[in-house]
Amino acid sequence: MSGSRNARVGLDALLTPENSVLLLIDHQPYQFANLHSHEPTMIVNNVIGLAKTAKAFGVPTILTTVLEERGGYLIKGLQDVFPEQKPINRTFINTWEDRRVVEAVEKTGRKKLIIAALWTEICLAMPVIHALGEGYDVYIVTDASGGVTAEAHDMAVRRMVQAGAVPITWMAVGGEWQRDWAREKTVAGMADLLGQHGGATGVVTAWEWQLLGIHQAK
């Protein structure tokens, strides 16, 4: 039996707040203007929910834009999660070719790299494949990313999975970070985030809190 490490299985394959770093790429007006793989409002909701979840769990989050003077600033709802952080504005299409981004990730000392981007087939696929080649365990948040067509998104996800990336959704990321409901420090924040961004899950959570006589956080 081979003694080589398989990063995809076992407890160590799951995300924790201590081993994760989040990279959010190009959630800008120009990118949304030609987003057709998903309903754009869903991607807005999901990426903001993902960012808020990272903040709630203290996960380092790096924001980046491409040619923001032409493509527009980061969407306001996302920037509002990290109001003091100036996104790294690039010219490289492949974010991982910008040393400032790589150095920001390296500075965290973490090897589980979670990425969401617009568009999936370009601005997500390129840095994912590149970072995988440099030894990172890369998780792609498919429902906080989107492409110019459903086919473009789906083919890009298949390509990244073939290269070794792990597909995941934004609420699944939060579930892995929480892991145990006995970790009471983050339970209220997690429930509040689900209420704001979890769709039907959030509605049901609020209902359950009502039945239990619990006042939901404002």
Q: Which of 43, 51, 115, 123 is catalytic?
A: 123
Could you tell me how far CA 67 lies from the centroid of its own chain? 21
The identity of residue 81, as a single letter, is V
Is residue 123 annotated as part of the catalytic site, yes or no?
yes
Task: Provide the strand spans (E) within the chain.
Answer: 20-25, 61-66, 88-90, 112-117, 137-141, 166-168
The identity of residue 177, as a single letter, is W
* Cα pseudo-dihedral 30, 99, 88, 35, rounded to 10: 20
* 165 vs 145: CA distance, rounded Å: 14
Contact 130, 122 (CB under 8 A): no
Q: Which two tokens stand for residue 68?
A: 């923001």
Name 93's Cβ contacts closer than 8 Å, sequence gap at least 6. 66, 122, 123, 126
* 190 vs 150: CA distance, rounded Å: 30
Tell me which residues are annotated as active site: 123
